[in-house]
Amino acid sequence: GQQLNQSPQSMFIQEGEDVSMNCTSSSIFNTWLWYKQEPGEGPVLLIALYKAGELTSNGRLTAQFGITRKDSFLNISASIPSDVGIYFCADLNAGNMLTFGGGTRLMVKP
């Protein structure tokens, strides 16, 4: 089956720094979704991307759907302590079933 590879696996940054993480796929995607999961909670959708080349922002978050349709990146600008969590990329297939990557764990030092 298709695989989603996220990198880096973890990041430990200083508050105020910008963050970049990415996700690559072994196959072409029609949808890229970025989720955040905090301890004790389920994943929450941050950004959804539907077209190759699409660049979408949600506050301090920006994500892009790669031109090859096999990758996507998520940037967080001016990180704050509440950005701590695990960030997942995911594909949504025609049956509304999600395939998740392994996640990037973000830790922010105040």
Beta-bridge partners for 35: 45, 88
**Which of 31, 24, 34, 33 lies closest to 2 in space, CA to CA?**
24
Contact status: 5 vs another protein (CB under 8 A): no
Q: Give the range of 12-20, 35-43, 52-60, 66-74 binding another protein by CB under 8 A.
A: 35-43
What is the rounded CA–CA span in Å between residue 85 and residue 107?
Answer: 7
Q: Which of residues 78-107 bind another protein (CB under 8 A)?
A: 88, 90, 92, 95-103
What is the rounded CA–CA span in Å between residue 56 and residue 58?
Answer: 7
Cβ of residue 16: shortest distance to another protein, in angstroms? 28
CA distances from 17 to 12, 26, 60, 99 (A): 10, 31, 12, 29
The nearer residue to another protein, 70 or 105, going by C-beta atoms, is: 105
The nearer residue to another protein, 60 or 100, going by C-beta atoms, is: 100
Contact positions vs another protein (CB under 8 A): 1, 4, 31, 33, 40-45, 48, 88, 90, 92, 95-103
